[in-house]
Amino acid sequence: MKMPGKRTLLYSAIALPLLTLLIWAALRPPAQLVSVQTARRGVLIQSFNEEGKTRLKASYAISAPVSGNLQRITLEPGDKVSVGQVLAMIEPATSGLLDARSRARAQADIRAGQNQQAAADQRIAAARAAWQMAEASLRRVESLQASQLVSRQSLDQARAQAASAAAELAAARAESQVALQRVAAARAVLAQEGRSDADASALAVKAPVAGVVLRRPMQSAVPVMAGQVLMEIGDAAQLEIEADVLSTDAVRLAPGIAARIQRWGGEGVLEATVTRIEPGGFTKVSALGVEEQRTRVILDIKSPHAQWAALGDAYRVELEFILQQEADALQVPAGALFRSSAPANANDAGEPAWALYRVVNGRARRTPVSIGLRSATAVQILSGLNEGDRVIVQPDERIEEGSRVEAH
Segment 280-323, tens digit of pLDDT? 999 998 888 889 999 999 999 999 888 998 888 889 999 999 99
Is the distance from CB of 234 to CB of 132 less than 8 angstroms? no
138, 173, 193 - which closes a domain: 193
Beta-carbon contacts of 41 under 8 Å, excluding residues fewer than 6 positions away, are 328, 329, 330, 331, 387
| Structural domain containing residue 65 | 60-93+200-236
- Statement to judge: residues 265 and 306 lie in one domain: yes
- Statement to judge: residues 86 and 128 lie in one domain: no
- Statement to judge: residues 168 and 316 lie in one domain: no
Is the distance from CB of 398 to CB of 45 less than 8 angstroms? no
- Statement to judge: residues 130 and 169 lie in one domain: yes
- Statement to judge: residues 274 and 308 lie in one domain: yes
- Signed CA dihedral, 286, 288, 289, 293: sign only: negative
Alpha-carbon gap, residue 143 to 141, rounded angstroms: 5
> Is 5 among the domain residues?
no
Question: How many structural domains are present in the chain?
Answer: 4
- Statement to judge: residues 302 and 359 lie in one domain: no
- Statement to judge: residues 77 and 128 lie in one domain: no
CATH number, domain with residue 231: 2.40.50.100
Give, for 32, the enclosing helix (H) or strand (E): strand 32-38
Q: Which amino acid is at 297?
A: V
DSSP 324: E
The interaxial angle of helices 100-146 and 152-191, nearest 10 deg, is 160
Half-sphere exposure of 271 (CA within 13 A, CB side): 9
pLDDT at position 250 is: 92
Prediction pTM value: 0.57
132, 163, 193 - which closes a domain: 193
Alpha-carbon gap, residue 277 to 374, rounded angstroms: 23
Alpha-carbon gap, residue 396 to 154, rounded angstroms: 47
- Signed CA dihedral, 360, 366, 368, 373: sign only: positive
CATH number, domain with residue 275: 2.40.30.170
Alpha-carbon gap, residue 181 to 174, rounded angstroms: 11
- Statement to judge: residues 204 and 89 lie in one domain: yes
pLDDT at position 350 is: 43
Low-confidence ranges of the chain (pLDDT < 50): 196-199, 344-351
Beta-carbon contacts of 255 under 8 Å, excluding residues fewer than 6 positions away, are 274, 275, 276, 277
pLDDT at position 140 is: 81
- Statement to judge: residues 154 and 177 lie in one domain: yes
- Statement to judge: residues 381 and 403 lie in one domain: yes
- Statement to judge: residues 112 and 163 lie in one domain: yes
Give, for 120, the enclosing helix (H) or strand (E): helix 100-146
Is the distance from CB of 165 to CB of 131 less than 8 angstroms? yes
For the stretch 77-135, pLDDT in tens is 888 898 889 989 888 766 555 667 777 777 777 777 777 778 778 888 888 888 888 88
